[in-house]
Amino acid sequence: MSELKMKILELLKEDARRSADLIATMLDVTAEEVKQAIAEMEQDHVIVKYATVANWSKVDDEKVTALIEVQITPERGRGFEGIAERIYLYPEVKSVYLMSGAYDLLVEVEGKNLKEVASFVSNRLSPIDAVLSTKTFFILKKYKQDGIIFEEHESDHRLPISP
Amino acid sequence: MIKDEEMQLNTTVRRASMADYLAPGARSMKPSGIRRFFDLAAGRKDIITLGVGEPDFVTPWHVREACVYSLEMGKTQYTSNAGMPELREEIGQYLYNQFDVAYDPAQEILVTVGGSEAIDLALRALITPGDEILVPEPCYISYSPITSLSGGVPVGIETFAEDQFKLKAESLKAAITPRSKVLVVCYPSNPTGGIMTYEDWLPIAKVIEENDLIVISDEIYAELTYGSKHVSLASLPGMKDRTILVSGFSKAFAMTGWRMGYACAHPDIISAMLKIHQYTVMCAPIMGQVAALEALRNGLEEKDRMVEAYNQRRRLIVHGFREIGLECHEPQGAFYAFPSVKATGLSSEEFSTRLLNEASVAAVPGDVFGSGGEGHLRCSYATSVNQLTEAIDRIGKFVDKLRTG
């Protein structure tokens, strides 16, 4: 991918609401070039979505998130793809990764409460034939996600004027 | 016996006030113009400040962590006066790799308490009372006062926006007298953001040579150049022995509060500076030295990321000033823009005071940096993109208001 696209991606990752004009000024190119590059990346699904990183623990109805280690038997011809799909299509599943090491899939599940997540594991996930075992870990607190620190302390300690 | 003592008391001249105890040099020293502005801005929560002369990044975590670990290990002693040998070694290697200048860590490198101490040591080691010290202006605020303290005579050389505030050989020549001894340069420049390329230095080097000058080259912003790599004066033919290279970790590695700097020069010069250094501060703090070592060994990538971020903000602020209609030369180094506010009819001082009071943006009036600074404003873009955008917006509205009266 071009260097320009990389730089645009980095700037959008910091703040997805930055305008093409602002990015163009920061990178010393025209706004048209920026718009074109962004359009191409959207087309190619390099940019998948512009989403908000929210700190849900600040919202009243608190959610419960669990990471589940899943061991599965791969299918002949399709490997892990089919099973992974059967799992990630559930809306309560927020992310699914194929992992190296002691288990195969790492599944992030979100629910309104503990019971809901437990019920997902026992009624949806475990009954899948290929699933051999699951281990569920509940997340107690998020400190940092996607490079973003959730509760950053006031960061500018500098004097307002210095030589 | 008693009689004698009384006699002596009677002949002692009493000082009328505490100030009378002060040395003339300390008494006549002017407080920094920045200080006055600081008092105006201090304590105001609503302001956006473009007045800060330091990075907005916190020292990278791996550097801070290295220092914490060294404290846990009990590294709390003096180091050798010149600084830890491995740090000097690493500084030598770094300067060679980055700027193509070779210094012997054993004899030609001295670790100091910030670049500021290095400047002080160099001036004190060189000045005989009456010597003239040439200082291109606008420039960092400390050179002239320290010169005067040693009995030297600072001689300002004005530089101009139309030359991108570069030092020109003609102006240098015009300022030279038989008493001229030292030239103090700071490129990339605080406050103008101006730089000197190899071609810019060549004619200057010739004048230095012809007039047997020695140069203190403050290269603290060397890592912060945009578009072209920094050229150290010491890397020019014949200039190494005539140059005292001063630099440090503050700007490149976001380590201002650590006060870590260094000086590189001919062994005769360094050993004189080392004597003053050992009697005044003994050695730079070991915690800072350990951190500096980590920064040099593992911090160069992080530094490149910071430079890229400054570059993006630089374009933003320059573009912003030009849109507003304030002339702004393209700063190619450091993290300052130095726009002209002459179009508004206000002096630097008036403009920045009113900007602070009426638009809640702090920036430093250019006149505090010496001749050539009047009519300009030093704006640091070492601040977040959102703050910069907001500051430019406020300045724009303020200037519009001035125009419509």
Please tell me the least confidently modeled range out of A53-57, A82-86, B219-223, B235-239: A53-57
- Asked if A162 has any chain B CB less than 8 Å from its own CB, the reply is yes
Q: What is the pLDDT of residue B160?
A: 96
| Min Cα separation B334/chain A (Å) | 13
Q: What is the pLDDT of residue A63?
A: 86
Domain ranges (residues) in chain B: 26-55+301-404, 61-298
Task: Test B32 with A163 for CB contact under 8 angstroms.
Answer: yes
B199 or B25, greater pLDDT: B199
ipTM over 0.95: no
Q: Which of A18, A155, A158 lies at the smallest CB-CB distance from B52?
A: A158
**pLDDT tens digits for range B182-214:** 999 999 999 999 999 999 999 999 999 999 999
Q: What is the mean pLDDT of residues B8-24?
A: 85
Q: Which of B41, B313, B315 lies at the smallest CB-CB distance from A161?
A: B41
The DSSP string of B282-302 is SS--HHHHHHHHHHHHH-HHH
The DSSP string of B73-132 is TT--S---TT--HHHHHHHHHHHHHHH-----TTTSEEEEEHHHHHHHHHHHHHPPTT-E
Which residues does chain A have within 8 Å of residue B190's beta carbon, measured at their own beta carbons? 163
**pLDDT tens digits for range A21-31:** 999 999 999 99
Which residues does chain B have within 8 Å of residue A153's beta carbon, measured at their own beta carbons? none
pLDDT over 70 for what percent of chain A? 98
Mean pLDDT of chain B: 95
Q: What is the mean pLDDT of residues B222-235?
A: 96
Q: What is the pLDDT of residue A152?
A: 74
pTM for the full model? Answer: 0.91
Task: Test B312 with A156 for CB contact under 8 angstroms.
Answer: no
In a mutagenesis test of the A interface, which of B58, B307, B312 is the best target, namely the one with the most A β-carbons within 10 Å? B312
Dihedral angle, C-alpha A138, A139, A145, A151, nearest 10 ° = 170
- Asked if B389 has any chain A CB less than 8 Å from its own CB, the reply is yes
Q: Which of B49, B190, B389 lies at the smallest CB-CB distance from A161?
A: B49
Q: Which of B47, B141, B315 lies at the smallest CB-CB distance from A163?
A: B141
Pairing of strands B214-218, B180-185: parallel
Whether B266 shows a pLDDT value over 60: the answer reads: yes
Whether B1 shows a pLDDT value over 60: the answer reads: no
- Asked if B142 has any chain A CB less than 8 Å from its own CB, the reply is yes
Whether B236 shows a pLDDT value over 60: the answer reads: yes
Q: Name B228's bridge partners.
A: none
| Cα angle, residue B104 at apex, residues B102 and B296 outer, rounded to 5° | 70
- Asked if B191 has any chain A CB less than 8 Å from its own CB, the reply is no
| Other Cβ atoms closer than 10 A to A41 | 17
Whether B264 shows a pLDDT value over 70: the answer reads: yes
Task: Test A163 with B34 for CB contact under 8 angstroms.
Answer: yes
Mean pLDDT of chain A: 93
The DSSP string of A35-87 is HHHHHHHHHTTSS--------GGGSSS--EEEEEEEEEPPBTTTBTHHHHHHH
Q: What is the pLDDT of residue A148?
A: 87
**pLDDT tens digits for range B347-382:** 999 999 999 999 999 999 999 999 899 999 999 999
Whether B5 shows a pLDDT value over 60: the answer reads: no
Q: What is the pLDDT of residue B9?
A: 59
pLDDT band at residue B59, thresholds of 50, 70 and 90? very high
Which residues does chain A have within 8 Å of residue B315's beta carbon, measured at their own beta carbons? 25-28
- Asked if A153 has any chain B CB less than 8 Å from its own CB, the reply is no
Q: Which of A18, A156, A160 lies at the smallest CB-CB distance from B56?
A: A156
| Min Cα separation A142/chain B (Å) | 20
Q: What is the mean pLDDT of residues B178-183?
A: 98
Cβ burial of B9 (10 Å; 0-12, 13-18, 19+) is exposed
Q: What is the mean pLDDT of residues B255-270?
A: 98
Q: What is the pLDDT of residue B7?
A: 55
| Other Cβ atoms closer than 10 A to B181 | 19
Q: Which of A22, A26, A159 lies at the smallest CB-CB distance from B38?
A: A159
pLDDT over 70 for what percent of chain B? 98
Task: Test B364 with A161 for CB contact under 8 angstroms.
Answer: yes
Pairing of strands B153-158, B132-137: parallel
Task: Test B34 with A162 for CB contact under 8 angstroms.
Answer: yes
| Min Cα separation B151/chain A (Å) | 24
CA–CA gap between residue B195 and residue B182 (Å, rounded): 20
Q: Which of B38, B312, B319 lies at the smallest CB-CB distance from A160?
A: B38
Whether B91 shows a pLDDT value over 90: the answer reads: yes
pLDDT band at residue B286, thresholds of 50, 70 and 90? very high
- Asked if A17 has any chain B CB less than 8 Å from its own CB, the reply is no
- CATH-assigned architecture of domain B26-55+301-404: Alpha-Beta Complex (3.90)
Q: What is the pLDDT of residue B4?
A: 59
Q: What is the pLDDT of residue B2?
A: 56
| Min Cα separation B303/chain A (Å) | 17
Task: Test A161 with B140 for CB contact under 8 angstroms.
Answer: no
Whether B6 shows a pLDDT value over 60: the answer reads: no
Taking CA–CA distances from A8, the nearest residue in chain B reads: B312
| Other Cβ atoms closer than 10 A to A114 | 12
Q: What is the pLDDT of residue B405?
A: 76
Task: Test A163 with B42 for CB contact under 8 angstroms.
Answer: no
Q: What is the mean pLDDT of residues A84-112?
A: 96
- CATH code assigned to B61-298: 3.40.640.10
- Asked if B312 has any chain A CB less than 8 Å from its own CB, the reply is yes
Helices (H) and strands (E) in chain B, counts: 14, 12
Task: Test A160 with B52 for CB contact under 8 angstroms.
Answer: yes
Whether A138 shows a pLDDT value over 60: the answer reads: yes
- Asked if A3 has any chain B CB less than 8 Å from its own CB, the reply is no
